[in-house]
Amino acid sequence: MKLPIYIYGHPVLRTPTELVTPDTPGLAELIENMKETMYASDGIGIAAPQVGKSLRLVYIDVDVLGDDMPELRGRRMVLINPEITVDESAPTVSREEGCLSVPGIHEPVSRHEKIHLHWTDEQWQEHDEDIEGYLARVVQHECDHLFETLFIDRISPIRKQLIRSKLAAMLKGKVSCNYRIVGKNKR
């Protein structure tokens, strides 16, 4: 089932998330619904808070970018309770990002080029992987959602100033996108 996407201004995006356990009610259904919602809105990643659930759960599918970045072909991941470790002294790269929860805004964000990711998949298998490049960016963006952070929190003060009126309009419900949304006023 397609779910509405909670957008900038809604408190659920700023709410701490809980660890997922095998007893988390409706987990399999939630994962399926997140996939369906993400594909229907042409996203490449989605985190549970974006569908109104304060859980440490992410789905990523970057296969669609495989023509430009062959290493992304076939990369689909359910991340349960993901944990990122970074070498803070390692290089960062700036590249444009967008977010289903911040429709119509794209801004460059500086991210670590390489990360180490530990996660559990939907079969409860644990994984450890060094991830770099664009996938590392997507993972960092989605995991930020689990810790009350949006990409617009990470842009420069000047860029933030430039999008201020767009964000203010979003808070007033003036936003157009081709998927169902829940805004600040729970429309």
Strands (E), 26-164: 45-47, 57-61, 76-85, 92-97, 107-112, 114-120, 126-132
Q: How far is the CB of 124 from Ni ion (least distance, A)?
A: 26
Task: Give, as ranges, the residues between 99 and 128 that touch Ni ion (CB under 5 A).
Answer: 99
Pairing label, strands 57-61, 45-47: antiparallel
d(CA 4, CA 7): 9
Active-site option among 18, 71, 83, 142: 142
Using CB under 5 A as the binding criterion, the count of chain residues that bind Ni ion stands at: 1
CB of 127 to Ni ion, least distance (A): 22
Q: Reply yes or no on whether 96 is catalytic.
A: no
Give every CB contact of residue 42 below 8 A, 6+ residues apart in sequence: none
In 3D, which of 46, 43, 53, 51 has the Cα closest to residue 16?
53
Q: Which is nearer to Ni ion, 87 or 95 (CB)?
A: 95
In angstroms, give the least distance from the CB of 13 to Ni ion.
9
Binding span for Ni ion by CB under 5 A among 19-27, 64-72, 98-106, 169-177: 98-106
* Residue ranges in contact with Ni ion by CB under 5 A: 99
